Structure 1
């Protein structure tokens, strides 16, 4: 069932890339429908990021909140949980701070919401050259037709196809999610205890959460041809913890796990 006009928190994760975060904030300012609040989930950035956020707090007509934790390495699950705990709205859209949002991004997520479901969107990859150009010029003029765009279809908005694909596209793989572009009901995240903080370092925190949500009866819906995002290129993160994180994910699948020990409840 569609929930008409739910209140919405936009959570933006970031770590020491204020130039990209500024482009992301600029694209949020241009949304056709604004979120009710924005929370920057900051995994230990320096003062430069804080200054950017302070600057943009003057430009937004909705709260722009900075949730920061000390830099103790890659702790994405932890900072997301802290931001989720802080969220006051019933529906949460989660993105990474290295995305430029198409202007209908929030509107598309709002219209796609369903009770008893969570959402994973997609992203358009930008080449290093196009990414460097946008960052150096501090501009967000990018579209699916820009030179340097890959996976073209992820940049298209086709509302008539969204519902048809929602539970068909990649439906057999519950682990297929994009943590950089997801949406949840806050109550559902509380139910499964949010992100599993046993997962540290890069990888699998989003898939493991998706598995626990699914095990709890919450359906995955893929938002294809809507909520378009353009990803600013950067080198891939180091993956020293991936084998450990894979083991946690496989355990959640094998044991039909619905919750986690170290999660969101620590901050509620």
Structure 2
């Protein structure tokens, strides 16, 4: 298995089904899917067991007890059971374009993080695809006519030049990296137990300190973000931001509370 797709998931099975539809349509097929659920809902087990019969790729479910926001912990558990040399991360509200995995696979290099882009679907089109339980009509035209945001990010250009030096931060809902890179820094830092900051941004600063480069995948790897109400609390963001500042000042790229516990 070359790619392990890891989906951070919490409670929205209707969203997850659309994501799996997007993965079923991939032109690249050498991958497994790991659903990383920050919960231990029996309904998810039944759903995965039923959906596995519909698709050719393996679906692995990792769960943990719901004790608040512990996304980094469940992501580490997912990494620990992964088979792929390349890890692709999608959030549980982001549907991948059918060429996303092909682009991640063909552009993977040592010391590079590939950061895709995101279309922000409007409430109208999100409700429509959820009601139909289908992404069949999800394309640039339908997105453009729906009042969605960042429509330009929905354009797929297979022969587009990828800028090497354009500075852009890591987009945590759509990126890929070689597994060995995350192993080298002990994966995600599980000290972060509040939403908003501390997943992708923490991974970003630690890898950049080790001379990794973020390569933007504009027009290459696209996800469609399903509309939903924001669940971030500003006080949580401030708490995690302050923690990250302290960790940056300490300068330790290898976190002490991370992946190795699950291996």
| TM-score w.r.t. length of structure 2 | 0.92
Runs of 5+ in structure 1 lacking a partner? 1-5, 171-175
1:148-196 Cα distance to aligned partner (Å, 9 max, x none): 2210121112234342x243142xxxxx221110111111101001111
Match of 2:219 in 1: 225
Aligned residues: 257
Question: Which residue of 71, 75, 78 maps to 1:83?
Answer: 78
Tell me how large the CA RMSD over aligned residues is. 1.6
1:200-234 Cα distance to aligned partner (Å, 9 max, x none): 12122210111001112222211111111111011
1: CA distance between counterparts of 2:82 and 2:161?
27
Question: Which residue of 131, 134, 156 maps to 1:136?
Answer: 131
2: CA distance between counterparts of 1:209 and 1:234?
25
2: CA distance between counterparts of 1:129 and 1:122?
21
Once the two structures are overlaid, the 10-residue window that deviates more, 130-139 or 41-50, is 41-50
Once the two structures are overlaid, the 10-residue window that deviates more, 186-195 or 109-118, is 109-118
Once the two structures are overlaid, the 10-residue window that deviates more, 6-15 or 135-144, is 6-15
Q: 1:162 to 1:70 in 2, by over 3 A?
A: farther
1: CA distance between counterparts of 2:71 and 2:64?
10
1:208 partner SS: helix
Matched, 1:9 2:8: no
Matched, 1:58 2:47: no
1: CA distance between counterparts of 2:138 and 2:95?
8
Partners of 1:90 and 1:185 within 8 A in 2: yes
| TM-score w.r.t. length of structure 1 | 0.91
Runs of 5+ in structure 2 lacking a partner? none
1: CA distance between counterparts of 2:155 and 2:167?
15
2: CA distance between counterparts of 1:35 and 1:247?
40
2:207 partner SS: helix
2: CA distance between counterparts of 1:184 and 1:267?
19
Once the two structures are overlaid, the 10-residue window that deviates more, 234-243 or 101-110, is 234-243
Match of 1:68 in 2: 63
Question: Which residue of 91, 99, 103 maps to 2:94?
Answer: 99
Partners of 2:167 and 2:214 within 8 A in 1: no
1: CA distance between counterparts of 2:246 and 2:156?
37
Match of 1:167 in 2: 165
Q: What is the CA distance between 1:257 and its match in structure 2? A: 2.7
Partners of 1:179 and 1:206 within 8 A in 2: yes
Matched, 1:179 2:172: yes
1: CA distance between counterparts of 2:76 and 2:45?
20
2: CA distance between counterparts of 1:237 and 1:182?
22
Q: 1:66 to 1:252 in 2, by over 3 A?
A: same
Match of 2:205 in 1: 211
Once the two structures are overlaid, the 10-residue window that deviates more, 10-19 or 40-49, is 40-49
